[in-house]
A and B are shown apart, each in its own frame.
Chain A
């Protein structure tokens, strides 16, 4: 009747994704947010697998495990590196 077209496994996957998103947004420190984003990516992979989509699941797994932490950590490292040398950034 009400749950007719959703298999319970799919309902659980959707609810996990809906719970993970506010956690990513509410983490304010970018370094920690990179880790929480990785966990959110894994809940998305679970959802894609349960929705019978193996190709997007592979892409999301690889991207949220390798590519996003890489790019975010490189940006944070560069911001912190430049913050230690403030006299270099003011000349133009």
Chain B
């Protein structure tokens, strides 16, 4: 199908789809007119029942915990897919690119400050996820971003521990598997899968919300390691480096 024919078919198709959208929107209630009872029920019930002041996190990891397990496995499957696609089978030797540390002192200083602040903010987002906004998912991405500033500012030897897939793969399994094991532990005790196991503690402190804390940490580990693995796969070079630099300090 030639490009011109494709573009000629596109305009009526988009107009038709727009007409269907307009018909659907005309039947919706007005903005702000919330009909369903489920939102009201959750807002009243989750804090007394689970002692988690962040109702969104309580919903993600407890009321709809099976959903989040599915999302984590989507993440895992996508990382496996990227690894399989980008790995070269023809046997061309993997040559590691040699880079130097950033030459300017100012850039190195700002990089070190960014790594420190990024690690702290990421750990705070993950740890307090069930009390204030945040959680395992954004906190994991911030942690991965802080580690990647090390790639930007440092030499190839500084970043080497975070590039080897042999070191990172067990942690990815720990993140995805930790979620399932916490759920199976409830099965082993005769309750339903993913029942909240531990005592609930005092709402608003770190020791609250039962096994939501463990599931939160597991998904944070899974997201961080997934981002690092993605970056490692995308940047592996299978040909000789273009400008061989001398080994920097």
A and B touching (C-beta < 8 Å)? yes
Q: Could you tell me if A78 and B234 are in contact, using CB atoms closer than 8 angstroms?
A: yes
Counted as pairs of residues, one from A and one from B, with CB atoms less than 8 Å apart, the total is: 60
Q: Could you tell me if A58 and B145 are in contact, using CB atoms closer than 8 angstroms?
A: no
Q: Which of B30, B138, B142 counts the most A-chain CB atoms under 10 A from its CB?
A: B138
Q: How many Å lie between the Cα of A81 and that of B242 in the bound state?
A: 9
Inside 8 A of A59's CB, which chain B residues have their CB? 137-138, 141
| B-side interface size class | 20 to 34
Inside 8 A of A74's CB, which chain B residues have their CB? 231, 234-235
Q: What is the predominant secondary structure among interface residues of chain A facing chain B? A: helix
A55 interface contact, C-beta 8 A: yes
Which residues of chain A from 25 to 61 have any CB-CB distance to chain B below 8 Å in the complex?
54-55, 57-59, 61
Which of A5, A67, A91 touches B32 (beta carbons < 8 Å)?
A: A5
Inside 8 A of B231's CB, which chain A residues have their CB? 70, 74
Who on chain B is nearest to A14 by CB? B31
Inside 8 A of A92's CB, which chain B residues have their CB? 90
Which of B31, B56, B134, B145 touches A6 (beta carbons < 8 Å)?
A: B31
Inside 8 A of A62's CB, which chain B residues have their CB? 138, 141-142, 145
Inside 8 A of A71's CB, which chain B residues have their CB? 230, 234
Binary B-proximity of A69-92 (CB < 8 A = 1, otherwise 0): 011001101100100110010011
- Least Cβ distance of A55 to chain B in Å? 5
Inside 8 A of A67's CB, which chain B residues have their CB? 141, 144-145, 227
A15 interface contact, C-beta 8 A: no
List 7 contacting pairs A-B, 8 Å CB cutoff, sorted by A. A55-B54, A57-B133, A58-B125, A66-B141, A66-B145, A75-B234, A77-B235
Q: Rank and list the top 4 A-B pairs by shortest CB-CB distance, nearest first.
A: A74-B234, A54-B133, A66-B145, A5-B32
